[in-house]
Amino acid sequence: MSRIRVALAQLAPVLMDREATLAKVHSAMREAAGQGAQLVAFGEALVPGYPFWSERTDGARFNSSVQKAMHALYQQQAIDVAGGQLAATCALARELGLAVYLGCMERATDRSHHSLYASLVYIDAQGEIGSVHRKLQPTYDERLNWAPGDGHGLRVHDLAGFRVGGLNCWENWMPLPRAALYGQGENLHVAVWPGSVRNTADITRYLALEGRSYVLSVSAVMRQQWLPDELPLTAAMKAEQEDWLCDGGSCIAAPDGSWLLEPQQGCEGVFVADLDLNRVYEERQNFDPAGHYSRPDVTRLVVNRERQSTVRFSDTDPTD
């Protein structure tokens, strides 16, 4: 039966610095490959970091000049995936023969290039981008900086006998997106988070039991003292007197809900585990959510995977 070694890279971003954070991503990719991993996953919005300031600095104040300045910097440091700003990451994935799930802020050229999406990018071991999943619904104060995505990235990918898919943060609580992945044969689920044990400790095992799949929850970490002093709102964030803005919680659950890797809290690191596909087959004997334990004659899900846009052009040649 198929076996695979996976890695969770629990990192702190260099907040608001795309290139410096990508350098940390590349270093973790090399470390994961050096430990024999075939897949490495990174936390939500890791590049160039999660918008911690929105909750902590009165982010909802309308027309705040300092909030606007912070958001403008966020846009400038986000990733233009279509423009090739992950080319070096893709090349390294190809060099290492390593598949990657990377959480990033995407500045999307097909949606005006001025709105931000929390995107989960899958890069295969040949260095090709297989999917870009834009978070369907930003959570709470995230809506001050992020736009809602679409279903285009609700896809799974073949990897060493496994079928791997992923969702961002609280999307993992949404039953229908999960069902969309189950229906495509997902048996290795990647759940990415900004970083908190309170998020990952329960849902990771729950998703494993529901999907009878392996579940990788991967988070980031950030301490107050790591915030760059030059950012417009660093002083206000540090005034909160909070040591950990996010404390990690990366973990792995087996298809029976047991821990392969218990939540890792308060540290950076690359954590590896070996997965055996036979364990999926064993647990699907009594429950398969999109197979023998489904009733498509009673309930079915319709998924729109069209990439959404506000315009469609139909140009004619003026010489015709």
Hey, which residues are catalytic here? Answer: 44, 135, 169
Structure tokens at 270: 């690359």
- Establish how many alpha carbons lie within 13 A of residue 60's alpha carbon, considering only the half-sphere containing its beta carbon: 5
Query: Do 14 and 33 meet the contact criterion of CB atoms below 8 Å apart?
Result: no
Helix and strand numbers, DSSP H then E, in the chain: 8, 13
Picking from 31, 41, 281, 287, the residue whose alpha carbon sits closest to that of residue 161 is: 281
The CA-atom distances, in angstroms, between 21 and each of 18, 105, 173, 177, 194 are 5, 12, 28, 29, 15
| Length in residues, the chain | 320
CA distance 124 to 131: 9
Contacts 24+ apart (CB under 8 A), 107-115: 107/75, 107/78, 107/79, 107/80, 108/81, 108/82, 108/134, 109/80, 109/82, 109/83, 110/82, 110/307, 110/309, 111/147, 111/308, 111/309, 111/310, 112/310, 113/80, 114/75, 115/147
**Cβ atoms within 10 Å of 228's Cβ, excluding its own:** 12
Instruction: Report the SS3 class of residue 164.
Output: strand
Calculate the CA 61 to chain-centre distance: 28
Helix or strand (DSSP H, E) at 226: none
